[in-house]
Amino acid sequence: MGKLLSSPKLLAIAIGVVAALLISVAGGALGASFGFGWFGGPIPFISLPAERVAYIGSYPLLNTTVMFWFGGLILIFLAWRATRKMSDVPSGLQNLFEVIYEFFGNTVDGVAGGKAKAGRRFLALVSTIFLVVVIINWVGILPGVGSVGRIETIEEWVHHHLPKVEAKVQEKHPEYTPVQTEAAALVHLLEDHGEDTFVAFDGSIVPLGRGEQARVPLNKIITFSESGLHQIEEAIHDGDDLDGLPLLDSIHSDIKKGVVQGEFVYKGQDFKGKTVGLLVPFLRGASTDINTTLAIALVAMFTVQVWGIRALGVRAYGGKFFVNPISQGPIATFVGILEGFGELTRTLSFTFRLFGNMFAGEVLLIAMAFLLPLIGIIPFMGLELFVGLIQGYIFAMLTLVFGVMAVASHGDHDTHAGDH
């Protein structure tokens, strides 16, 4: 403390940091409830499945796919730069790659039995998994990822949600015609999601207002009443001609317009007539999509089986899972079956570990950007960098441990127990 007071430079830095923190707290959602909150944006829509950003023919291109390709390109570029001009005394990028290679070279040998080159066959996949997972985790928290996107209009939103409801209606009432099914699904959708909120935009992608209160519920965008919906339902039930219903027509036209119809005033600002929608990010961290993590887990576990079969042969490796109950006893058979299920649960736990960690990290960053914008979020960015690295390391190490367990024959069970 004395050192801090005696040095004006340190003191200035300390005061600056505290002031920045105060500004960040007051500017966020916490400050918004006391009348401050200059930087608070609306909470983005948190979506578990990846968003579709474009279509190639009829094939939807997901934002997580784009990000995975981007991560792959970065990795290829780095590897090319590191090996382009190699020297005997490594420096820079070459040095970094050599450190990673050496670290994993020593680790695989250590885990595979301690002899030199004992773990050679595991090295390629294990270090690849590490590099890929770390890179896709890290590019996922670059600025702009998950926050820059386009507005999904109400029309598109209805278009995406309707088929699910339509399928449900069709199951319940197979006798409905397609027009009736669509109308019934629309009624259900409005009933279920009438309170769902959307962000109002100022024509561009700048959201209006601040904080959560600036979100407009669906029933202010599409005007309908309970009794009106009942009328439509009755008309569908009676098999009336649906073309003549004025409410259904107005609902359709409201969906097409996608602007705030009813009165919605927030902080003296009338939102009537403003465009409404959801932000669909162009980019999103690849490991926040469960399909990515499942794909990596399947590659890892499939290769583990290949290693086992190549080391022991089909008979001996299969003998780990299928044990003869007469010669070995029923308990050994049961243990063998459990071992087989273990391979499946390992795949699942690989998938959920990475996905859960990275998705939770994304939600944490979103929540923190909402609560403590500008400065307050920086420590959490650092935390996410660390989590990304650790998850890559864990994914690689577990693949290695499972691989070593698979190639070990029945007699020499290792001490590397690593089951859950």
Partner 1 sequence: MDAEATKYLGAAISIAVGAIGPGIGIGLLAGKAMEAIGRNPEATGPVQQNMILGLAFAEAIAIYALVIAIIILFV
Q: Which parts of this chain interact with partner 1 (CB under 8 A)?
A: 46-48, 349, 352-353, 355-357, 359-360, 363, 390, 393-394, 397-398, 401, 418, 420
Torsion sign (Cα): 183, 189, 190, 192: positive
Quick one: 132 or 259, whose CB is closer to partner 1? 132
Contact 209, 38 (CB under 8 A): no
Contact 292, 68 (CB under 8 A): yes
Dist. CA 94–CA 164, nearest whole Å: 52
Dist. CA 306–CA 28, nearest whole Å: 52
Dist. CA 401–CA 122, nearest whole Å: 10
Dist. CA 395–CA 205, nearest whole Å: 38
Distances (CA, A) of 91 to 81, 128, 134, 414: 12, 22, 22, 38
Residue carrying structure tokens 């690295």: 389
Contact 369, 299 (CB under 8 A): no
Residue carrying structure tokens 């009736």: 180
Name the burial class of residue 268, with classes exposed (0-12), middle (13-18) and buried (19+) by CB atoms within 10 angstroms of its CB.
Answer: exposed
Quick one: 214 or 397, whose CB is closer to partner 1? 397
In whole angstroms, the minimum distance from the beta carbon of 418 to partner 1 comes to 6
146 residue type, one letter: G
Quick one: 161 or 252, whose CB is closer to partner 1? 161
Quick one: 48 or 56, whose CB is closer to partner 1? 48
Nearest residue to 210 (alpha-carbon basis) of 199, 194, 221: 199
Dist. CA 105–CA 121, nearest whole Å: 10
In whole angstroms, the minimum distance from the beta carbon of 358 to partner 1 comes to 10
Q: What are phi and psi of 199, to 5 degrees?
A: -90, 135
List Cβ neighbours of 40 (8 Å cut-off, separation of 6 or more).
27, 28, 29, 31, 32, 210, 211, 370, 373
Quick one: 319 or 418, whose CB is closer to partner 1? 418
Quick one: 245 or 394, whose CB is closer to partner 1? 394
Q: What are phi and psi of 115, to 5 degrees?
A: -80, 155
Dist. CA 418–CA 129, nearest whole Å: 18
Quick one: 257 or 353, whose CB is closer to partner 1? 353
In whole angstroms, the minimum distance from the beta carbon of 414 to partner 1 comes to 13
37 residue type, one letter: G
Quick one: 236 or 300, whose CB is closer to partner 1? 300
Dist. CA 387–CA 401, nearest whole Å: 21
Quick one: 130 or 317, whose CB is closer to partner 1? 130
In whole angstroms, the minimum distance from the beta carbon of 115 to partner 1 comes to 17
Quick one: 275 or 293, whose CB is closer to partner 1? 293
